[in-house]
Structure 1
Amino acid sequence: MVTILDTLNRPRDADKERPRHPEKAHRPDNPVQRKPKWIRVKAPTSPVYRETQQVVRENNLVTVCEEAGCPNIGECWSKKHASFMILGDTCTRACAFCNVRTGMPGPVDQNEPTGVAEAVSRMGLEHVVITSVDRDDLDDGGAKHFANVIKAIRQRSPGTTIEVLTPDFLRKTGALETVVEARPDVFNHNLETVPSKYLKVRPGARYFHSIRLLQRVKELDPAMFTKSGIMVGLGEERNEVLQLMDDLRSAEVDFLTIGQYLQPSKKHHPVLSFVTPEEFKAYERIAYAKGFLKVSASPLTRSSHHAGEDFAELRAARAAKLGH
C-alpha cells in the first residue's frame, strides 16, 4: 500500500539540485523503522484535496503540511484545512526531528500577508493556523510579519479565527509582544520534547525559555488561549512527560497536544519507541487531571490537526469552567 508518508517523502523537482538538510548530513544514518498499523494512512485522492493544493500553488504559499511531511495532509486538505508557513521554506536551525529545509533563508516576501489572506478567503476557512520557520537572521525573528499576516486576514475574513504557531523568538526583544498585540485567538508554541532531549533533538532552543515565552503570553493577555505540543518516541521517560505537563500548567497553558514522532529520513533522529494508543489515552487522562482545558493525545496528533474543531471545544471548556 502506498501511504501518504511515502508520497510526501519523494523529493520535489525543485529540491533535486541541493540537499534538503545539509546541516543534518553529518548525523549517522538511522534506518527508518516500519510503522505499526495504527499509524499508516492512505495517500490523498480527494478532489477537494486537489482544489486546496491549487489554491496554495496559485497564491505561491508554503504550508507546513507539505514541508514537515505531515501524515494528516490528506484528511485536512480534503476538508479544506491548511496550515500556512510564512517567512519562507528555509529554517535557520537544524533540529534533528524536523523535515523542513535548513540553511540561510531568502528575503521576506512582503506580498505574503495578502496572499495568505486571499487563500483564507477563497477556501472559506473558519479557523486558520499560521506558523513559520525560525528566522534567527531577522532582528525581530519575523514577529512583525506575523502581525501583518494576522492583520491582512482580519481585514479580508473578519469571521475567521486565527491560531499562530510561533518560533521561540530567542534573544529577540519585543518580538513576542508584537505578535500578542496583533491579537491572534490562539498562541501556540511547541516544546517538542522533554528538556533532557533538547541537546540532541532541539539544540538551538532552550526549554525554560519556551516555558517562559508561554507564561509571558498570559501576562500580556490573560484572555488569550495558549497551546503547546510535544512528540513522544524520542527516548523520553514517562515521568519526564508528566513533569513537562506540570511545567506547562505552571505557565497556565490551556491546551496540550501529544503525538508520535515519525522519522522523516535516515538522516534524522531515530524513533526509539512507538507509543501505543492506550498509552496516549493514559497521558490524556493525566493531562486533564492536571488542569488543561483541552488535550489531544494520539499517534497521529499534530499541532494543527483538527485545529478548528479543537478551538471550538477549547472555548466551550473555558465557558463551562467559568460557569457561562
Structure 2
Amino acid sequence: MRQKIRPRHPEKIKNPINPIKKKPDWIRSKLNNSREFFLTKSIVNKNNLVTVCQEANCPNITECWSKRHATFMIMGDTCTRACAFCDVKTGKPEKLDKLEPIKISQAVKKLDLKHVVITSVDRDDLDDGGSNHFYEVINQIRKTNPNTTIEVLTPDFLRKGDAYKKVLEANPDVFNHNIETVPSLYLKVRPGSRYFASLELLKNAKKMNKKVFTKSGIMVGLGETRDEILQVMDDLKSADVDFLTIGQYLQPSVKHFPLDRYYKPEEFKELGDIAKAKGFLLVSSSPLTRSSYHADEDFSKLQQNRLKNY
C-alpha cells in the first residue's frame, strides 16, 4: 500500500503567529559603513568581546559604530531568562571569562571612549547575579581609562539579596536598570522579572550612592495605554530616577511578542516633554532611542550645563 504523504500546512507559513508590521519611514535607520565602523568592528572582534549592538540586533549599530561607540555586554552572549521582546539568545551560559575586564578596558582605550556603557545578560545561575564581575570590569576600566565616565545597565539581581551593592561600590557614574514596560504587561513581556522589584532596585541604588545618576527606560508599542506610560514615569520619579529613555519596540521575529503599533515622532516628542515637565534631568524620547543611544553626548551635555550653572 502506497504511503500517504501528509500535506504541509501552508497556512502556518503564510500566517505566522505574530506577523511583523511594516516599518514606517521614520523608523528606518541610515546605513553608514564608514572606516570608523569597520575599525570598531575590528576592535570588538579581535578582543573576542560581545556587544549588545550585535546580540540584540540594535537598529542604531551602523550610526553608533561609525562614531566608535559600542555598548559592551559582559558575562557572555547567553541569557538565563527568556523575555518575550528580546533577541538575545537564551540557554545555559558558559563560565565567566576572568580576562574580560582587561579586554574591555583595552577596547575602551583603543576606541578612545569618553563615555562607555556596560550591560550584561541575566545570570541567574550565579550566586551574586554577576555583580562582582561588574565591579571588576568598572575598576579595570578606571585603571586604564581614568578620564572615561562609566554607565552600567544592569539586570535586576532578583532574589540575589544585596548583590547589587557590589556594583555601586565601584562608583559608576550612571546606574541604569530598564523598567522596560508597564505593570499590566509584565507577565507576558518580562515573565522572569517583577515590576516593583525593578523599582526597588533603582530606589535602593540612589539611597546607597546619592552621587550616582540613576537611569531607566521604557519601550512603547506593546499595547500599553498613555495613562500607563505616565504612571510608570511617576513611579520612576518616586524612586528618584534621574534619566529616562523612551523608545519604540521593534519586534525581532514572528516568535517574539507582537508589536501593537508604531508611535509617531510627535507622540515621542509629547512623551518626552511630559517627562521633562515631571522633573527628569535627562530625557531621550524618539522612535530609535535605546538605553545607550547618544548616552555619551547626553551625559556630556549634562556635565557642561552643570558647570555653567555652578
TM-score, length basis structure 2: 0.93
Structure 1 equivalent of residue 10 of structure 2: none
**Which entry has the higher C-alpha Rg, 1 or 2?**
2
Q: Does residue 77 in structure 1 map to residue 65 in structure 2?
A: yes
Structure 2 equivalent of residue 5 of structure 1: none
Q: Does residue 54 in structure 1 map to residue 60 in structure 2?
A: no
RMSD between superposed Cα atoms in Å: 1.1
CA distance in 2, matches of 1:314, 1:31: 41
Structure 1 equivalent of residue 12 of structure 2: none
Structure 2 equivalent of residue 198 of structure 1: 186
Following TM superposition, by how much is the alpha carbon of 1:118 offset from its aligned partner in structure 2, in angstroms?
A: 0.7
2:102 corresponds to which of 104, 114, 134 = 114
Structure 2 equivalent of residue 147 of structure 1: 135
SS class of match (1:98): coil
Q: Deviations over 1:265-316 (max 9, x none)?
A: 1100111010000000100111011110111000000000011111123334
Following TM superposition, by how much is the alpha carbon of 1:318 offset from its aligned partner in structure 2, in angstroms?
A: 5.4
Q: Following superposition of structure 1 onto structure 2, how do residues 29-48 of structure 1 map, counting pairs within 5 Å?
A: 29-48=17-36
SS class of match (2:284): strand
CA contact (8 A) 2:31 2:63 kept: no
Structure 2 equivalent of residue 300 of structure 1: 288
SS class of match (2:117): strand
SS class of match (1:172): coil
Q: What amino acid is the match of 1:42? A: K
CA distance in 2, matches of 1:157, 1:76: 20
Percentage of pairs with the same residue: 64
Q: Does residue 168 in structure 1 map to residue 164 in structure 2?
A: no
- Runs of 5+ in structure 2 lacking a partner? 1-15
Structure 2 equivalent of residue 217 of structure 1: 205
Q: What amino acid is the match of 1:273? A: R
The range that moved more, 282-291 or 36-45, is: 36-45
CA contact (8 A) 2:128 2:160 kept: yes
Q: Deviations over 1:196-222 (max 9, x none)?
A: 110100010000110010000111011
Following TM superposition, by how much is the alpha carbon of 1:41 offset from its aligned partner in structure 2, in angstroms?
A: 1.8
Q: What amino acid is the match of 1:263? A: Q
CA contact (8 A) 1:293 1:317 kept: no
Q: Does residue 124 in structure 1 map to residue 112 in structure 2?
A: yes
CA contact (8 A) 1:162 1:186 kept: yes
How many equivalent pairs are there?
295
TM-score, length basis structure 1: 0.89
SS class of match (2:158): coil
SS class of match (1:90): coil
Q: Deviations over 1:78-116 (max 9, x none)?
A: 000000000000000000000000011010111100100
- Runs of 5+ in structure 1 lacking a partner? 1-27
Q: 1:308 to 1:277 in 2, by over 3 A?
A: same
Q: Does residue 95 in structure 1 map to residue 83 in structure 2?
A: yes
CA distance in 1, matches of 2:196, 2:303: 27
CA distance in 2, matches of 1:143, 1:306: 25
